[in-house]
Amino acid sequence: MARRAAGLLFDCERLTLARRLRGLRKNQLAQSVGTTPKAIGQYEAGVHRPSDGTLSRLAIALGVPVEFFRPGRSPVSMDGAHFRSLRSTTQIERDQALAYGRIATDVVAALEDLVDFPPVDLPEYSVPLDEIAGSGPIEAARVTRKALFSEPGPVPHMVRLLEGRGVIVLVLPEAAERVDAFSVGVHPRPMVFFNPAKGDYWRNRFDGAHELGHLVMHADAEPGGKIVEDQAHRFAAEFLMPEEDIVRELPGKPDWERLSALKITWGVSMAALLYRARTLGIMKEGAYRDAMGAMGSRGWRRREPGEARALEQPTMLTRAVELVGDAGTDRDRLAERARVTRADLDLLVPRR
Q: What is the mean pLDDT of residues 157-173?
A: 94
Per-residue pLDDT, 265: 96
Its pTM stands at 0.89
Has residue 338 got a pLDDT over 90?
yes
- Bridge partners of 28? none
- What would the mean pLDDT of 223-230 be, rounded to a whole number? 82
| Average pLDDT of span 84-108 | 83
Between the two ends of the chain, the Cα-to-Cα distance in Å is 32
Are 250 and 262 a contacting pair, CB within 8 Å?
yes
Going by pLDDT thresholds of 50, 70 and 90, the confidence category of residue 5 is low
Helix (H/G/I), strand (E/B), else coil: 122: coil
Q: Return the SS3 of 184.
A: strand
Percent of the chain having pLDDT more than 90? 70
Q: What does the pLDDT look like over 235-283, one tens digit per residue?
A: 999 999 999 999 999 999 999 999 999 999 999 999 999 999 999 999 9
The amino acid present at 171, given as its one-letter code, is V
Q: Using one digit for the tens of pLDDT, what is the confidence trace for 291-312?
A: 999 999 999 988 898 888 999 9
Q: What pLDDT score was predicted for residue 169?
A: 95
Q: How far is Cα 258 from Cα 29, in angstroms, rounded to an integer?
A: 55
How many CB atoms lie under 10 A from the CB of residue 72? 14
With pLDDT > 70 as the criterion, what percentage of the chain qualifies?
A: 92
Of 147 and 199, more confident: 147
Picking from 24-38, 193-207, 303-317, which range would have the lowest pLDDT averaged per residue? Answer: 193-207
Please say if the pLDDT value at position 182 is more than 90: no
194 φ/ψ angles, rounded to the nearest 5 degrees? -105, 150
H helix or E strand, kind and range, residue 82:
strand 82-83
pLDDT surpasses 70 at 79: no
Average pLDDT score over the chain: 90
pLDDT of residue 199: 79
Reference 352, options 320, 323, 319; nearest CA is 319
Residue 51 has pLDDT above 60, yes or no: yes
Name the band, by pLDDT with cuts 50, 70 and 90, for residue 188.
confident
